């Protein structure tokens, strides 16, 4: 098609240039396909709660002489509305981390504050499941970056650890400094004793809307966007996120971020994350 036509035309310029052009077009097509998939996924994800709300409102009208049923339907409408709100909020967050330059408002951020914020965010969910949360090693450590984005990233990891763990287990958050040639990093490891992730799924959980078990994710208010947001935040800060997991035993997600004051502070990358 198009790519071949272009390469035939520029063939005399040398095969290297041809290769580059063909690669460029393939890459452009790939990005376009990813974008189309994303729009299709968003539409589908929006339609589900909206469809449920529409059916439930009909049910409420039909059940006007049965107050108990009305209350039950109204409760379910509230759940669907919350789901919709979560989804829209996460879409806004994702778009923000994809489009904003995180290092524009970058500053040294205390690790103990980030951890306290993440724990606070999950306190209620953890409490109802009697999950113990413990943090260690955070004193005197500072990462460099956008406070809001870093808080969102760590918060998502801790939230997942709580959501994908059975009752009466433990979620640990450990921080440590790791030396690297171009500057030091801070590693934040979130460990749970939850359901774990299979080898095959491990590679995919960072994709937008990918969920191992969609029903379970929805039941906990999940949107399938959390880890995509974490991955973007990590990469745009010059860090990375990785996962170790054993099915049925638990998982550890490790967020590696540049330490404040280290040479990597301003390492600024815009990797292709689609």
213 binds ligand ADP, rule: CB under 6 A = yes
Give the integer Cα–Cα distance in Å for 255 and 153: 9
Q: Beta strand 170-178 with 185-191: parallel, antiparallel or unpaired?
A: antiparallel
Cβ-based nearer residue to ligand ADP, 10 or 212: 212
> Of these, 45, 187, 192, 265, which contacts ligand ADP (CB under 6 A)?
192
Which of the residues 226 through 265 are near ligand ADP (CB under 6 A)?
226-228, 251
Contact 198, 213 (CB under 8 A): no
Our CA dihedral for 17, 19, 24, 30, rounded to 10 degrees, sits at 180
| Contact with ligand ADP (CB under 6 A) among 7, 160, 236, 254 | 160
Do the strands 250-258 and 132-136 form a parallel or antiparallel pair, or are they unpaired?
unpaired
Instruction: State yes or no: residue 217 binds ligand ADP (CB under 6 A).
Output: yes
Determine if 224 is a binding residue for ligand ADP (CB under 6 A): yes
Contact positions with ligand ADP (CB under 6 A) in 129-158: 156
Question: Quick one: which of 102, 194, 239, 258 contacts ligand ADP (CB under 6 A)?
Answer: 194
Confirm if 114 and 153 have CB atoms less than 8 A apart: no
Size of interface with ligand ADP, in residues (CB under 6 A): 23
Smallest gap from Cβ 225 to ligand ADP, in A, equals 6
Q: Name which position in 77, 164, 186, 231 contacts ligand ADP (CB under 6 A).
A: 164
- Supply 226's token pair: 């959390």
Per-position DSSP letters for 48-110, written without gaps between them: HHHHHHHHHHHHHHHTTT-HHHHHHHHHHHHHHHHHHHHHHHHHHHHHHHHHS-TTTT-EEEE
Residue 195 found at the interface with ligand ADP (CB under 6 A): yes
Nearest-angstrom CA–CA distance, 217 and 35:
23
Binding segment toward ligand ADP, per CB under 6 A, in 16-24, 116-124, 133-141, 203-211: 203-211
Enumerate binding residues for ligand ADP (CB under 6 A): 156, 160-161, 164, 192, 194-197, 205, 210-213, 217, 222-228, 251
């Amino acid at each position: 098609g198009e790519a071949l036509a272009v390469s035939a035309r520029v063939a005399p310029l040398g095969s290297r240039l041809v290769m580059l052009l063909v690669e460029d077009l393939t890459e452009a097509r790939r990005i376009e396909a990813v974008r189309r998939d994303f729009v299709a996924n968003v539409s589908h994800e929006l339609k589900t709660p909206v469809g449920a709300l529409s059916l439930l409102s009909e049910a409420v009208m039909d059940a006007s002489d049965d107050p108990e049923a009305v209350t039950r339907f109204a409760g379910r409408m509230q759940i669907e509305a919350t789901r919709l709100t979560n989804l829209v909020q996460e879409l806004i967050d994702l778009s923000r981390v994809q489009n904003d330059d995180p290092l524009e408002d970058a500053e040294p951020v205390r690790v103990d504050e980030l951890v306290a914020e993440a724990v606070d965010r999950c306190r209620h969910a953890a409490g109802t499941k009697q999950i113990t949360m413990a943090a260690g090693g955070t004193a005197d450590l500072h990462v460099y970056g956008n406070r809001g984005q870093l808080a969102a990233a760590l918060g998502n990891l801790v939230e997942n650890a709580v959501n994908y763990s059975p009752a009466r287990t433990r979620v640990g958050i450990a921080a440590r400094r790791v030396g690297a040639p171009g500057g030091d990093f801070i590693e934040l490891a979130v460990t749970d004793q939850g359901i774990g992730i299979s080898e095959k799924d491990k590679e995919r959980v960072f994709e937008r809307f990918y969920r191992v078990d969609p029903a379970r994710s929805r039941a906990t208010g999940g949107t399938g966007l959390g880890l995509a947001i974490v991955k973007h935040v990590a990469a745009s800060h010059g860090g990375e996120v990785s996962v170790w997991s054993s099915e049925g035993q638990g998982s550890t997600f490790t967020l590696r971020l540049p330490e404040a004051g280290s040479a990597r502070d301003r390492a600024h990358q815009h990797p292709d994350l689609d």
